Amino acid sequence: MSTGFHIVVCGSLVPDPLQTLNPVQGANGPGLKNELMLPAVLDPFAAHSLYEAANLAKKMPGSKIWLVSLGNKAKLQQLMMTIAQKVAFELVPLDGPASGFTDSFEVAAALAAAIDKLANLDRSRLLLFGGCASASRDAGVTLQMVGERLGILDQFLAVDELKLQEDGSLRILERIEGGQYQVSACAGPPAVLAWATGNLPEPPNNPQIGMQNMRVIMPALQKAQPAPVAAPGVTFASVTLPAQQRQTRVVKDVPVEEIAKEIVAWIKE
């Protein structure tokens, strides 16, 4: 019997969080100004899930990782220059917009179709990973819909910990309200785990993994299937930056006692 997990990580690119973002209205709806010029990173929560996948695969010999990414092909290639040095995976690129303004329903359909077509994927060993929400649309719904389309009924959102139990079951911690975790026990794969940060640091770059990955990644990128996802049925009336400039009163050279009194009075208001 084959062992190990088949881990499919869904994750795409988002603009580097430190970039200034400006919305623009295009012919097909809203987008970001100079979107294709903005430096991109792997979506942070999805990146955490990729690191968790690598860690799990290391513990379970015979495991394999796929990274399914829907984004502009040229930008995906750039992203791979860094990500591919961290974790060994097979890239499944889908060439389409990674914009936050596309519809999660469409994105999920494209991702599920790509996963459905993966040769050698053993569904009975499948763990579908990804981020609990993107830094673009930030809806937190895509993975559940991919899972539904693949017929997976065991799903977890905002996961921070996955522990394998001796009997092969999974013990999972999910973030819930009030800074608490929900603990669940799942009989085993197939399951969907949409990760929050988890507990692992970013793996260091390893040029050897990079070279090994790139041999497979470059041909995959060349053959990337077009995935022209959009948001049919949605009409955006406006997309604007918040007008959040406040008139800040700066209190300086005032004794600490007075400041403290003012703060306490304000808290008690």
Partner 1 sequence: MEKILFLAYTQDDGLLPKAALETLNAAIDLASKLQAPLSLGLIGDNVQAAADAIAGCGAQEFFAVEGPDFASSRYASDAAAAEALARRAGATLVLAPSVSRFARSLPGAALRLDGRIETHVCALDPGGDSLSIQRWYYRQRMIATLTRSQRPWFLLIDPGVFKPWEGQQGQATVDKVTVALPENARRTRFVGFEAPAADAQTIRPEAELLFVAGAGWTKKQADGQPHVKEAEKLIHDFITKAKASLGSSKSLVDQTCEGGEVISLLSHLNQVGQTGATPRHPKGLATCCHGEEPHTVGWRFINERRAVNLDGSCGWAIGKADVLYVADAFQVMAKVNELLGD
Ligand X SMILES: Cc1cc2nc3c(=O)[nH]c(=O)nc-3n(C[C@H](O)[C@H](O)[C@H](O)COP(=O)(O)OP(=O)(O)OC[C@H]3O[C@@H](n4cnc5c(N)ncnc54)[C@H](O)[C@@H]3O)c2cc1C
Q: Which residues bind ligand X (CB under 6 A)?
A: 17-18, 44
* Residue 174 binding partner per list partner 1, ligand X, none, with a CB distance cut-off of 5 to 8 Å that depends on partner kind: partner 1
Q: How far is the CB of 16 from ligand X (least distance, A)?
A: 7
* Residue 181 binding partner per list partner 1, ligand X, none, with a CB distance cut-off of 5 to 8 Å that depends on partner kind: partner 1
The owner of tokens 């497979």 is: 216
CA distance 141 to 146: 9
Q: How far is the CB of 249 from ligand X (least distance, A)?
A: 17
What is residue 231's DSSP assignment? -
Does position 184 interact with partner 1 (CB under 8 A)? The reply is yes
- Residue nearer to ligand X on the CB measure, 17 or 61: 17
The letter for the amino acid at 250 is V
Binder among 23, 203, 214, 216 for partner 1 (CB under 8 A): 23
Those residues whose C-beta lies under 8 Å from the C-beta of residue 54, and which sit 6 or more positions away, are 65, 86, 87, 88, 89, 203
CA distance 184 to 187: 10
Residues 216-235 close enough to bind partner 1 by CB under 8 A = 233-235
Q: Which residue is nearest to ligand X (CB)?
A: 17
The closest of 226, 193, 191 to 93, measured between CA atoms, is 226
The alpha carbon torsion through 143, 144, 147, 153 (nearest 10 deg) reads 150
* Residue 108 binding partner per list partner 1, ligand X, none, with a CB distance cut-off of 5 to 8 Å that depends on partner kind: partner 1
- Residue nearer to partner 1 on the CB measure, 155 or 206: 155
Does position 105 interact with partner 1 (CB under 8 A)? The reply is yes
- Residue nearer to ligand X on the CB measure, 14 or 108: 14
Q: How far is the CB of 201 from partner 1 (least distance, A)?
A: 8
Phi, psi of 251 (to 5 degrees): -100, 115
Which pairing describes strands 90-95 and 29-32: parallel, antiparallel, or unpaired? unpaired
- Residue nearer to partner 1 on the CB measure, 91 or 158: 158
